[in-house]
Amino acid sequence: MSVKVLVCGSILAPIRELLREEFEVLDLPADAAAQAAFLQTPPADVNVIVTLSHVPLIDAALLDRFPNVRLVASFGVGYDQVDTAAAVERGILVTHSPGVLTDEVADMGLALTLAALRSIPQADRFVRDNRWETGEKYPLTLSLRGRKIGIVGLGRIGSAVARRFEGFNVEIAYHSRSPKPGVPYRYFDSVLALAGATDTLILTVPGGAGTRGIVNAEVLKALGPNGVLVNISRGSVVDEDALIAALSSGTIATAALDVFAHEPHVPDALKKLDHIVLVPHTGSATFATRLAMAKLVVDNIRSWAGTGKVLTPVPETKHLN
């Protein structure tokens, strides 16, 4: 079966080459005017859309422009940029790329926690600015010793984060929709209760309406003045205004953020806070993992073209598989 793929978003050259080896590939223009012109007379024979987790919504209006699309393949574990209800209504499968990025993102969760506690980016700037050389003393930092780690979302990534922290001899607890059988960590039935019982909150839940703003002013207050917030999930999970207020007032001590509410825009109020850590959504951004994700996207398209079924459908569209 001949497959024509529309790529929505900027992908790395090696990933594009993987797609081009097997499929005809078109690009949705990034420029707004060019994109509007493209969508006025879109190619009718596109049957697969490949999307990245940070591009605009793949919604009913876009899908209606491509009536022959039968598969939307999301490059990433998150797929909140895809209107899955609209896809289901049109009989369109949606896939994502879970599993292959679990360890990389979990590593980032651990790294960001340590970076925030030990002020590693700030210490780097201190040296580069020659402040150490001129005799200035670098201030003491927070410590991981004696910390209570709370993980919001104990799926693949949350569980991998927990395993990494086990080696640091810290107390670990979690919140998810329901208790996980066989898990040795203490369960809390709400994010607020978890925040009240811990001092380091690590977010690993998916985005979407069900998790939007679950970390709000009340949760941050419960985390306390010694509290650390680490977000490796989606920016939508956190009330960004409440977080800025909490960091500015000392309601919590610090934060480390890999994701933001309106990427790539990061509020100036966050950028001005020198005691936090900000990185540009790079949790899975290594050569090895990006290639593994790309291979899974290609494998899903190949499987669909050959059998009509995919390897990793999102839960909402599994019944179509």
Which residues are within 8 A (CB) of 312 and not within 5 positions of it... i.e. 6 or more apart?
Answer: 95, 96, 97, 98, 99, 296, 300
Q: How far is CA 210 from the centre of its chain?
A: 15
Which residue among the candidates 96, 147, 175, 281 is catalytic per the annotation?
Answer: 281
Non-local (6+) Cβ contacts of 168 within 8 A are 144
The DSSP code sequence of 269-308 is HHHT-TTSEE--S-TT-SHHHHHHHHHHHHHHHHHHHHHS
Reduced DSSP (H G I as helix, E B as strand, rest coil) percent helix, strand, coil of the chain, to 5: 40, 15, 45
234 is catalytic: yes
Active site annotation includes 96: no
Q: Which amino acid is located at 291 in the chain?
A: L
Choice among 24, 171, 218, 263 that is catalytic: 263
DSSP 47-73: -EEEEETTSPPB-HHHHHH-TT--EEE
3-state secondary structure of 218: helix
Q: Is the CB of residue 206 less than 8 Å from the CB of residue 153?
A: yes
Set 96, 147, 175, 234: catalytic member: 234
From the list 153, 62, 73, the residue with the least C-alpha distance to 105 is 153
Q: How far apart are CA 243 and CA 214, in angstroms?
A: 12
In a 3-state reduction of DSSP, which class is residue 256?
A: strand
Catalytic residues: 234, 263, 281
